[in-house]
Structure 1
Amino acid sequence: MSGSSPVPAISLKDFETRKDEIITQLVEAAETAGFFTLIDHGITVEEINAQFALSETYFALPDEVKRKIPHDIKTNNGWEYKAQIRQSTGTADQKESFWLQRNSEWPTDEEVPSFRDTTKKFMGKCEQISKKVLACFSVALGFSEDHLNKAMDVEAPDNITQMRLIHYMASENAVGTWRAGNHTDVGCLTLLFQRDGEDGLEICPGRESHTDHAIGDTFHPLPAKTGPIVVNIGDMLMAWSDDRLKANFHRVRAKDVGKSPDRYSIAYFNTGRKNVVMQGPLKK
């Protein structure tokens, strides 16, 4: 990406032997941009494409089938359609999504063959990548390596980490509108998968954001690529780092000219457990 606020690409190759170098790179990115991409992370392009194919199959189901697992406000799991209203826009995001946890309800193999098994494996790989990044941030903040990971433990009964499959519907006349309005993520750390050509993500990196919901601030497009994982810091990790690590605004914008095609993305939200109390090193 051009401009004064680049989003660095960080390789996780040879993680154990390069850990100190990777910690330095992650912290610099998190302190300055709030966004980075991960490469050499261990999930193949074939695995990413297979997960996107399942997502497409699921969203192509009739609404009455998807409604069998409706969004539950208590668990935040299930299918929702144009239900997320942003404070920044006052309107609903132009998308549908399916929220999942390890123990949530799943489509049947008749509805989407291999959905549960494949998706659970994909979630497991996201979990392993997240553990590496969170271990690095724990060390950088002066804590033990397992500090943040204990707060995110997906095996714990009060765990609320989730995966979200997202489908932005194609639109003929959405020029210049928001498919998802300006927002920061409320959780700890988000891993986002995109596909080649399905652009629209725009980010407000660095510490530029200074207005309410970053309205009027400068956003930069981040082209969609299959393979690299876009990672951003959430509000929770910003608080737990005493504001050292930056949660920044992002959005999804429709094309400025012509039709906006379908866009699919997959987000893995690392979110602190319900019954764990965390505090930053300076105890702010």
Structure 2
Amino acid sequence: MSVPTISLHDFDARRQDIINELMDASMNVGFFTLSNHGIPLEDVRSAFDLSRRFFALSPETKSKTPLNGKNAGWESQTQVRPSTGTADQKESLQLQFARMEGLWPANEDVPDFKVKAERFMNQVRDLSVKVMECLAEGLGLPLTTFTEGTVDPGLGDSQDVLRLLHYHSTEGKKFGPNFWRAGAHADFDVLTMLFQRDGEGGLEVCPGRKVVGDFGMGATWLPVEARLDRIVCNIGDQLMRWSDDRLKSTYHRVRLPEGGESSGPRYSIAFFNQARTNTIIQGPGKKYPPITGGDFIAEAMARNRMQSAEIARKAAMESAEKVASQVHFIPQHLQQAQAAQHAQTA
């Protein structure tokens, strides 16, 4: 098994073939990459340059737009994955179409940041509409099911997020075996579209999830090549639920550099298509009870906060040296996955 690449060239003429490829990838892997997607490379490079300029600012300047309770703003090494119990080795800036009052970087800090960021956000959203329409058609649903459910018609209820990510350089640093640039997790959106720079790899995916809420942490991790000219896409928990588990939201992670790989910084940009606040998420077979997009996100964030708080409480009882150098607080689902892996290799 591998992560397939799907070309969008001659989109209108090849629409049914593209739908078939998207459905196969989404049902069996949960990940795919897009080539010939139509977003000019110079625009992708410009977005990365905007990201680099923001993250080059001092912490004091970046903290003028701190992460708020509405999933927007800047954070640094605050995300503790329940799958690992350690903080991701990165910082990020989360941007939205709505709820951004006072959270845009100031023009004197990064000139024209808001204008350039919103332009790129619109480009990515327009492309995601084409993909989501294909997935709706492939599922036998009305064409606009997911696009009307995610794209704000002017009500200010969009929950889409563009996340600029800066993974810190690991040069000259030592980490324990349970540290990651991004610990294993599944996205809780509809569709994620991820941009990477050439040679800045480390992204790995682990197919095998059966139902929403199942950790599905197997022993096989598939690498995803980092290429500027391809967009990495994956199904999120909202769409897995919306499709009655036909489309798979897959666990993935970003590992630290190994061997002779570059230990310098890594940049990526993720666009999360999320159900609008009042959109009702429920599949045609009604496998799960209806839930609004707003409640779905609120519940997912609350679960993460509770799990992270418990991890932090336990960590406070250990020495700093032990926390920084050893595998600790392995969650039950990972204990089970590790036991299964050892049984297979024994």
TM-score w.r.t. the length of structure 2 is: 0.76
Which residue in the other structure is 2:294 paired with?
none
Amino acid at match of 2:132: L
Give 1:60's match in structure 2, choosing from 56, 60, 73: 56
Of 76, 79, 82, which residue of structure 2 is paired with 1:84?
Answer: 79
Provide the rounded CA distance (Å) in 2 between the counterparts of 1:255 and 1:96.
17
Among candidates 100, 118, 121, match of residue 120 of structure 1: 118
- The total of aligned residue pairs comes to 279
* Aligned ranges 1:244-283 → 2 under 5 Å: 244-257=246-259, 260-283=263-286
- Say whether 1:30 aligns with 2:33: no
Cα separation, partners in 2 of 1:60 and 1:233, compared to 1, 3 Å: same
Q: Secondary structure at the match of 1:13?
A: coil
Counterpart of 2:17 in 1: which secondary structure? helix
Q: In the aligned structure 1, how far is the partner of 2:176 from the partner of 2:14?
A: 45
SS at 1:96 equivalent: strand
CA offsets per residue over residues 139-163 of structure 1, 9 Å max, x none? 1122111111111013432210110
Cα distance in 2, alignment partners of residues 151 and 261 from structure 1: 39
Measured on the aligned residues, the alpha-carbon RMSD in Å equals: 2.0
**Equivalents in 2 of 1:215, 1:188: separation in Å?**
20
Query: Bigger CA drift: 236-245 or 99-108?
Result: 99-108
Q: CA contact under 8 A between 1:208 and 1:217: conserved in structure 2?
A: no
Partner of 2:174: 173
| Rg (Cα) greater in structure | 2
Q: For residues 115-171 of structure 1, what are the alpha-carbon distances to aligned partners after superposition, in whole Å with 9 as ceiling and x for unaligned?
A: 211111111111111100110111112211111111101343221011000001001
Q: Give deviations 1:201-234, integer Å, cap 9, x for gaps.
A: 111135599x974556211221211110000000
Take 1:54 and 1:225, find their aligned partners in 2: how far apart are those partners?
Answer: 18
Gaps of 5+ in 2: 288-346
Match of 1:221 in 2: 223
2:92 pairs with 1:93: no
Identify which of structures 1 and 2 has the higher relative contact order when contacts are C-alpha pairs closer than 8 Å and 6+ apart.
1
Partner of 2:65: 69
Deviations 1:35-56 (A, max 9, x none): 0001111112111111101101
- The code of the aligned residue for 2:144 comes to D
Equivalent residue, structure 1, for 2:135:
137
The TM-score with structure 1 as length reference comes to 0.92
Q: Residue 164 of structure 1 corresponds to which residue in structure 2?
A: 163
Identity across the alignment (%): 47
1:200, distance to aligned residue in structure 2 (A): 1.0
5+ long unaligned stretches in structure 1: none
